[in-house]
Amino acid sequence: MRHINDKGLRKLKEWEGLRLKAYRDQAGVLTIGYGHTSVSGEPEVKAGMVITEQQAELILKQDLAKFEFRVNTLVKVPLTDNQFAALVSFDFNTGALHNSTLLKKLNKGDYDAVPVELARWVKATVNGKKVTSRGLVNRRSAEIGLWASGTEIAGQNTPVAPATPPVVNKESVTWGAGILATVGALFEGTGPVQWALAAVIAVSFAVGLFLFVQKRRAA
């Protein structure tokens, strides 16, 4: 079975962060280690629970195996190592790959649709309401960058064949509009911190879009 590559694993650890004592995440779910919750399987996370860094590594390995298996079985088209890693990260975070529009479009060979769909998963439930999460905006931006980096499929010397001509097409425009809408949501605050954060995220997305288009043109 194919596994997440070292680059993807490092990124995932950065995005999840390591917490050795149980805490409640943004949605109020008890979490420990590298984003482990009871829904992911053993061990059950309880209030006050404490683990070692070695235990956190073992738990992460167990959790990752489930999402690696899901990406291996759900995706029917060739993927580069970095594309595989980006999808494992996305599914690890959301658990929604199996019924996502992203998967449906990708399995039809529409590789360009993946960044568009990733950019839409930036909402978190806080106090029963769906709100734009700055952390998720940053994570999706990084996953898009990971998806766009690298063009060779593992064990092959040929790049992934583009589903559409390598130009900025309608999907790219849609992606750009989605990004602007996402960043716009962050401007709801009026303080300088909100404005600075939104500006940084806008630049990050712009760089991701530029890299993605350049990779598609070079393919």
188 is catalytic: no
Cα–Cα distance measured from residue 87 to residue 70, given in angstroms and rounded to the nearest whole number? 10
Angle formed at CA 33 by CA 22 and CA 183, multiple of 5 degrees: 95
Catalytic site residue from 6, 14, 25, 188: 25
Angle formed at CA 74 by CA 100 and CA 8, multiple of 5 degrees: 85
Determine contact, residues 68/99, Cβ cutoff 8 Å.
no
Cα–Cα distance measured from residue 118 to residue 44, given in angstroms and rounded to the nearest whole number? 29
Cα–Cα distance measured from residue 102 to residue 89, given in angstroms and rounded to the nearest whole number? 14
DSSP class of residue 77 equals S
Catalytic site residue from 16, 68, 91, 143: 16
Determine contact, residues 51/22, Cβ cutoff 8 Å.
no
Pull the structure tokens for residue 43.
């061990």
16 is catalytic: yes
Cα–Cα distance measured from residue 34 to residue 48, given in angstroms and rounded to the nearest whole number? 16
Find all residues with CB under 8 Å of 208, minimum gap 6, and list them. Answer: 115, 141, 144, 145, 148
Active site (catalytic) residues: 16, 25
